[in-house]
């Protein structure tokens, strides 16, 4: 049973970039947890701010409900840190909370944003916080003077404009069997309706790339990831 942890700067980030990974992990009997560091209430809730008299509090409530629905669609549990966005500021206490969550949950795999994004001030901030919490939770691979969890695999998910974020995929995940669940999760994110078609098309493109790599004609949709640490295997 695999434990997968996905950490996003904003409450919808996991849906576009890793909902397929979460759904595949959940349907395989694994445990999936999503941490939303903020609700993206100020910077990533475009549709909601068109409504007259809108407030940050109301937007956060709607975004929480949307993210819970989306997480449920892919069999994941949502943990919301509510740290605020644009700018996201991850306090030392929040890093400690994330590290403690990692020690308790002991994920096999941690997924988050790449460390660069010229279009978003919060995504690289989330990356730094996750990278730090991951190291604080696992120590240096030796006995430590604090409670640790085993080291995790560490990957980043695909950003909106991959080339400009230095993202080079090293893993394609076949999400064909769970694509309907991903679409359902995307539909739950009504505040960012404009992204649903974009990420459905992205999944088709990555499916094409995955077919080319494998020759497996049954792959229709895929998600792309980049490993930050080598995977260790017994045989090539």
Contacts with Zn ion by CB under 5 A lie at 9-10, 13
Sheet with 3-8: strands ordered across: 76-80, 31-36, 3-8, 109-112, 153-157, 222-227, 171-174
Alpha-carbon dihedral 99, 100, 102, 103, rounded to 10 degrees: 120
Q: CA-based angle 77:218:26, to the nearest 5?
A: 15
Task: State which residue, 127 or 134, has the beta carbon closest to Zn ion.
Answer: 127
Residue in the structure block whose two tokens are 């030796």? 142
Q: Smallest gap, in angstroms, from Cβ of residue 63 to Zn ion?
A: 12
Give the CB-nearest residue to Zn ion: 10
Q: Is 31 or 56 the residue whose CB approaches Zn ion more closely?
A: 56
Which residue, 10 or 60, has its beta carbon nearer to Zn ion? 10
Pick the closest to residue 184 from 85, 105, 75 (CA basis).
75
Paired sense of beta strands 3-8 and 109-112, if any? parallel
Q: Minimum Å distance from CB 226 to Zn ion?
A: 17
As measured in angstroms, the least distance from the Cβ of 157 to Zn ion is: 11
Smallest gap from residue 117 Cβ to Zn ion (A): 9
Closer Cβ to Zn ion, 9 or 70, answer by number: 9
């Amino acid at each position: 049973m695999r434990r997968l942890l996905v950490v996003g700067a904003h409450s919808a980030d996991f849906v576009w970039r890793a909902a397929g990974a979460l759904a595949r992990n959940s349907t395989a009997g694994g445990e999936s947890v999503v941490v939303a560091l903020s609700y993206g209430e100020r910077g990533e809730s475009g549709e909601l701010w068109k409504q007259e008299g809108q407030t940050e509090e109301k937007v956060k409530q709607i975004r929480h409900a949307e993210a819970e629905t989306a997480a449920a669609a892919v069999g994941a549990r949502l943990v919301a840190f509510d740290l605020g966005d644009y700018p996201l500021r991850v306090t030392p206490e929040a890093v400690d909370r994330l590290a403690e969550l990692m020690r308790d949950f002991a994920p096999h795999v941690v997924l988050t944003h790449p460390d660069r994004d010229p279009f978003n001030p919060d995504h690289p901030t989330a990356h730094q916080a996750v990278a730090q919490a991951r190291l604080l939770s696992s120590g240096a691979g030796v006995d430590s003077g604090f409670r640790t969890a085993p080291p995790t695999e560490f990957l980043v998910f695909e950003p909106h404009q991959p080339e400009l974020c230095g993202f080079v995929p090293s893993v394609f995940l076949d999400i064909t069997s769970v694509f309907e669940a991903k679409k359902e999760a995307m539909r739950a994110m009504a505040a960012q309706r404009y992204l649903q078609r974009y990420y459905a098309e992205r999944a088709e493109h990555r499916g094409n790339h995955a077919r080319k790599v494998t020759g497996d004609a049954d792959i229709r949709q895929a998600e792309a990831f980049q490993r930050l640490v080598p995977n260790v295997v017994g045989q090539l």
